[in-house]
Structure 1
Amino acid sequence: MSGHFTMEERAWHAWIEAAAPETASERQREAYETSVWPNSPYFRLLAWHPASLAARTRLDRAIFLTRGGLPRGDRELAATVASRVNGCELCASVHARFTATFSKDEATVLRLLQQGPEADFADRAGAIVSAVAALTRSPSAFGAHHVRALRDVGLDDADISDVIQATAFFAWANRLMLSLGSPAAPGAADEDALGDQRANDAIAAER
């Protein structure tokens, strides 16, 4: 598990060869080109099984880009907490930036990254952080008291379902990423992948 968490850009390097324009089939190229980050070695690695990547992309967008329901900032907070608990540097950095953008609360994000989910947070953020951390560590640790705490800060059942879905998605996605490669400080070879991050950051900032 990593101990380096930051809102700054992070790179990720695959341990095995990822699909590339010269090695991928047409279906594999389509899968990574329509993914969240077409130039990411992670998504290009997943493209070796294009049906799985396509399903992942649809699920990601359905959970995080849907309109209505839990505010986007809270969904991104859930993703950040799960990534922080699992030790996934890249996902933590990406979703920390999204959380700060959508919630306008960079101080809470920095406290989470630096001190972990055990830190003190305001009521709404604290209830979400506590629930997500428990669910990420072990589903059986998530209990009725977490649901009550979420309701007490204004979340209804549909909102709580959104918290659970965002958490479950990243509890799985982090572990997959951590088993296929490792985070790294960005270098010249990572510019295309970083370009995907910057493009998504820019889109978020415009909303």
Structure 2
Amino acid sequence: MTPVSSRYPMAELAHLPEDIRDKILEVQEKAGFVPNVFLALARRPAEWRAFFAYHDALMLKEEGSLTKGDREMIVTVTSAANQCLYCVVAHGALLRIYEKKPMVADQVAVNWRKADISMRQKAMLEFAMKVCERSHEIDNADFPPLHAHGFSDEDIWDIAAITAFFGLSNRMASFSGMQPNDEFYLMGRLPREKKA
């Protein structure tokens, strides 16, 4: 396993509060491994709970027109702009899986304008990048192009909130030296083997 951080020790599962330990074990059961972010942030339980509550509110919500792939695409593109290795690799893996496109994460991380994605997704990413890099320049003129692609005002809020939240996540991962799990690099690149 890749070390989680060169600067801060990973929390030990056995010493964590029960609610956090149970959530991490649930993730391990589903993914087959524990993503390093869970143990890296668990060194501060109150912050872990707040971080993952907001993460889940944004990334797991059912309302609105953003798909899971759209949400992971926003994270991958803005994390690339913020040069966050952990989030580009981890969320790029989820993006490949949700979009069922093995090359899409690499494409959007390097140059989303030339990626094999829809015009709707390009409009979404144009706005996300403005929030990421120049949020002080957002004005009313930024909304009609998104409305024209079927995004509601609540969807636009989601695009901005995901971008802003992962701005925090990117900075925490980068300053702490968090490294992506090796498992993320290959996820979604090749078709899954069918079980016999």
Change (3 A) 1:104 1:49: same
Residue 125 of structure 1 aligns with an amino acid whose one-letter code is: Q
TM-score, normalised via structure 2 length: 0.75
User: Shift in Å at residue 62 of structure 1?
Assistant: 1.4
1:106 deviation in Å? 4.8
Cα deviations across residues 25-73 of structure 1 (Å, max 9, x unaligned)? x42x642542485634432232222111011111111111121212222
Q: SS where residue 13 of structure 1 aligns?
A: coil
Indicate if the aligned counterparts of 1:32 and 1:43 stay in contact, CA closer than 8 A: no
- Which position in structure 2 is the counterpart of 1:64? 59
- What is the deviation of 1:12? 5.9
Q: Out of 128, 136, 141, which is 2:137 matched to?
A: 141
Pick from 150, 153, 159: which aligns with 2:149?
153
Report the counterpart of residue 76 of structure 1 in structure 2: 72
- Give the equivalent residue in structure 1 for 2:8: 16
Q: Per the alignment, do residues 66 and 158 of structure 1 end up closer, same or farther by CA in structure 2, a change over 3 Å counting?
A: same
1:96 aligns with 2:85: no
Q: Which runs of 5+ in 2 are unaligned?
A: 29-33
Shift of 1:21: 4.0
Residues 37 and 145 (structure 1 numbering): CA distance in 2 closer, same or farther, change over 3 Å? farther
In 2 relative to 1, CA 100–142 (structure 1 residues): closer, same or farther, beyond 3 Å?
farther
Q: Structure 1: which 5+ residue stretches go unaligned?
A: 1-9, 187-193
| Normalised TM-score (structure 1) | 0.71
Q: What is the alpha-carbon distance in structure 2 between the residues aligned to residue 164 and residue 125 of structure 1?
A: 14
Return the offset for 1:182.
4.2
Cα 1:93–1:71 shift into 2, 3 Å = same
